[in-house]
């Protein structure tokens, strides 16, 4: 009897056999998560809301929300530099 796959990582590993493209995609996703977490952590450590940070860097609250969203793919270095 086969063991039941229980986590998303196990399922993806099973589907993609841990191939080179899978590894590249996984590293890209990890980078997105790290960037989003770093922005969120820095903002909350400074005691700022998304709206307050947005005002300080000259953007909108929704732009900050997108930066803190690891699934958003439209990040630019220019925005991250702000």
Residue 81, phi-psi category: left (phi > 0), alpha (psi -120 to 50), beta (remainder): alpha
The whole-model pTM stands at 0.68
Supply the DSSP symbol for 7.
S
What digits encode the pLDDT tens for the residues 5-55?
A: 678 777 777 777 767 787 888 888 888 888 889 999 999 999 999 999 999
């Amino acid at each position: 009897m086969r063991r039941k796959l229980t986590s998303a990582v196990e399922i993806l590993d099973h589907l993609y056999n841990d191939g080179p493209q899978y590894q590249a995609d996984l590293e890209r996703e990890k980078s997105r998560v790290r960037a989003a977490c770093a922005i969120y952590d820095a903002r909350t450590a400074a005691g700022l809301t998304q709206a307050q940070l947005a005002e300080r860097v000259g953007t909108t609250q929704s732009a900050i929300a997108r930066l803190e969203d690891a699934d958003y793919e439209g990040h630019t270095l220019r925005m991250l530099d702000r």
